[in-house]
Amino acid sequence: MKIAIVGFGITGAALAVLLSRRGVTVELFEQSTVVGPVGAGILLQPVGQQVLSAMGLLDEAVQHAEKITEIRVRTHRGHQLVHLRYDEWTPGLCAYGLHRGRLFEALRKTLAATSTLTHLNTRILKCDSQDYGATLIDAQGNIFGPFDWVFGCDGGNSTMLQVSSLKFRDYKYTCGALWYIGRTERIRGHLFQATKGTQRLCGLLPTGHGECSFFWGATAEEAHSIRSDFDKWKVEALRIFPESEEILSDLQGPSALLFTTWRHRNLPHCVNGRLLLMGDAAHASSPHLGQGVNLGLLDAWVFDQIFGQCGNWAEAANHYAKRRQRHRSFYAELTYLLSPFFQSTHNVLSFPRDVALPLLNSIPLFRRQMISVLTGMRYDWWGGTYKLHL
């Protein structure tokens, strides 16, 4: 049994670990020349923790992480919009703030102990599914395979999706965020965000030992003017968000701020021929609910569990597609619905937001619904929660 995974991100790495542990021969294809501890701070939600724990990797992944017990959002005037405690859902429950690279390193180290063959600097451009197997073609024209099955885990800009002939719809947000990793002791134990209308959203996510991820929501145009008038922007940032003083004093110049944009993807069916899409390739969305990495881990886990039961690639892929559809659609739809209330040019949306959120937050029933969404375990609009084991 030989399979190919295109994309050595969190989803691809987790899937490679799981399937190689089943004795499957895995070949991993990554376009970057080096892979390593890069990326922003991420929130590892309870669902992601459960997957890592079942893989035996949780302790290592979170050993330097920050325990996040609550989420706080306020307006620039200091009015509290959201204050949610994870342990209201289940005593002891928390998220972890960690650098994406630490999670990646934990997966990579585990993978190094398996027989997985990794092809770096290999950008796959084509996947050809035939009766005898699937072959991959890279940018240099090299042909790899045949493989029993191919997994497209190549992220939001997925080439595998483009060449899959699957129907999908993409919406590219005009907004994204500038982000930076620095140090501050000011915010500890919680994710802190501040808003001003829908045009300003900024946040601090502690990622352990005083390290912190700073986010500043911006369009590409705003990111450009921030870079060209950095000192003026710093003054505005400190006015809206004085909690960021320590981390911003650390920030030497605009080149340390990295810019990224979001997209929303609607992919009703994720299997075609011998190709299955997973992670951001299948369900890219804005990170406002902090679920991307968690959903990618869950994708890998669920596929592995189903494959372990049926032992047949096509059957497992089709079963997987049905089983994951509801959960990933729920998070995609909710993120798509909520994002304009936090980051958009429709400033008018901030009024209902600023009235409704504190109200809902003060009612225990609604507060619990909001926390259940954050955990990543929420299955549908009616309150069902995901069961990790089949």
Ligand X SMILES: Cc1cc2nc3c(=O)[nH]c(=O)nc-3n(C[C@H](O)[C@H](O)[C@H](O)COP(=O)(O)OP(=O)(O)OC[C@H]3O[C@@H](n4cnc5c(N)ncnc54)[C@H](O)[C@@H]3O)c2cc1C
Q: Is 30 in the site for ligand X (CB under 6 A)?
A: yes
Which of the stretches 35-43, 230-238, 320-328, 354-362 binds ligand X when contact is defined by CB under 6 A?
35-43
Q: Under rule CB under 6 A, which residues in 97-156 are in contact with ligand X? A: 123-124, 153-156
Contacts 24+ apart (CB under 8 A), 136-140: 136/4, 136/6, 136/29, 138/29
Chain center to CA of 35 = 17
Closest distance of CB 191 from ligand X, Å = 8
- φ and ψ at 22, to 5 degrees? -90, 5
CA angle 130, 131, 137 (to 5 degrees): 25
Tokens of 158: 């997925």
Residue with smaller CB distance to ligand X, 31 or 344: 31
Q: Categorise residue 165: left if φ over 0, alpha if ψ from -120 to 50, beta otherwise.
A: left
Q: Please identify which residue in 226, 293, 357, 371 interacts with ligand X, judged by CB under 6 A.
A: 293
Q: Nearest approach, Cβ of 158 to ligand X (angstroms)?
A: 6
Q: Alpha-carbon distance 388 to 68, whole Å?
A: 22
Question: Residue 211 interacts with ligand X (CB under 6 A)?
Answer: no
Nearest to 93 by CA among 302, 331, 368: 368
Binder of ligand X out of 46, 182, 203, 296 (CB under 6 A): 296
Q: Say if residue 376 is exposed, middle or buried (CB neighbours under 10 Å; 0-12, 13-18, 19+).
A: buried
Instruction: Give the per-residue contact string, 191-210, with ligand X (x = CB under 6 A; - = no).
Output: --------------------
Q: What is the Rg, in whole angstroms, of the alpha carbon atoms belonging to the chain? A: 21
By CB under 6 A, name the one of 3, 4, 5, 10 that touches ligand X.
10
Q: In angstroms, what is the minimal distance from the CB of 338 to ligand X?
A: 15
Residue closer to ligand X (CB basis): 197 or 296: 296
Per CB under 6 A, 8 contacts ligand X: yes
Binding site for ligand X (CB under 6 A): 6-12, 29-32, 40, 42-43, 123-124, 153-156, 159, 177, 179, 260, 279-280, 287, 290-294, 296
